[in-house]
Amino acid sequence: MSDSFTLTGRSALVTGAGGGIGAAVATAYAAAGAAVLVTDMDKDAAAAVVDRITAAGGHAQAAALDVTDADQAAAAVEQAANLNDGVLNIVVNNAGVIAPAMFPKMTPEKFRLVLDVHVGGTFTVTQAALPYLPDDGTGRVINVTSAAGLVGTIGQVNYSAAKAGIVGLTKSFAKELAKRKITANAVAPLAATKMTTTIRTDEKLAATTLARIPLGRWAYPDEIADTFVFFASDAASYITGQVLPVDGGMVI
Q: Please say if 220 is a catalytic residue.
A: no
Contacts within 8 Å (CB) and 24+ apart, 249-252: 249/213, 249/214, 249/215, 250/147, 250/190, 250/212, 250/213, 250/214, 251/147, 251/150, 251/151, 251/188, 252/214
Sign, CA torsion 52/80/183/21? positive
Say how far residue 173 (Cα) sits from the centre of its chain. 15
**232 exposure class (CB count in 10 Å sphere: 0-12, 13-18, 19+):** buried
The b-or-e profile of 197-230 (16+ CB within 10 A means b, else e) is eebeeeeeeeeebbeebeeeebbebebbbebbbb
Which of 132, 159, 220, 238 does the annotation list as catalytic? Answer: 159
Q: How far apart are CA 70 and CA 59, in angstroms?
A: 26
> Active-site residues: which are they?
159
